[in-house]
Amino acid sequence: MVRQFYLNQATLLSVLVTDRSLQDTRTGHQARGAVGWLTRKAKETPVTTTTPGIPPRLGGQPRLAAGSWRLDPAQSHASFTAWFAGRPVRGRLPLTGGVLITEPIEDSTARLVARTSAVSTGSTVLDRLLTGPDFLDAGSFPEVTFRSERLAWVPAGWRAVGRLQVKNAEHELACQLDLQVGDPQAGDGPRIAITSSWVIDSRWVTSHWIPALSRHIVMTCSSSLEPDM
């Protein structure tokens, strides 16, 4: 079981840091080295600004204002695609949680929460199956959570490394981030849109051996953040 964990972690980190395909797997030792490289890279990357009064930029992206932000549940969700018997199965779950942006920004933290009983695929039968004891077991485990531990800027953009809790187990996970800062002059107030992309192992969701179910499940979390007053 430990070997499988390190293999998955290594695959994720190699994809996120070097943009290599999921076929390029690494050893557990190299995976742990990649985590350290993410952290070191964040500390070594220079931050510059050319316009007075504008927050410093990193890699062409604006710095975010320090403070506490919460997810707007009406505009935040997690979507997933799993392949079963060669066909895609798509679904989504509502997201809640919060983000604490600090200075330096690399020390910022986030917590995302998805309610397992609210999974929606467009099929009542499939929804009942996924929330049942053979998969997410929503009755015993009402939430799936992600807690970020490291934030780093790499040549390909922002990356976060943290822990995903599914049922009674935690898994180290890396994800790609895309940040967009809203325009306060639009009359909506300050807002941040964060899209995170990751790949999880289907064995984290079900312990049953299902030959037709693909090993990798692709997930995208779309989060709309507003100041937590």
Whether 19 shows a pLDDT value over 60: the answer reads no
List alpha helices for 145-184, DSSP H: none
pLDDT tens digits, residue range 79-93?
Answer: 999 998 888 999 999
Task: Quote the DSSP letter at residue 186.
Answer: G
Written as six digits, the tokens of 38 are 């993410």
Residue ranges in the chain assigned as alpha helix (H): 2-18, 28-44, 124-131
Greater confidence (29 vs 160) lies with 160
Distance CA(62)–CA(187), nearest Å, equals 20
The region of weakest confidence among 1-15, 86-100, 110-124 is 1-15
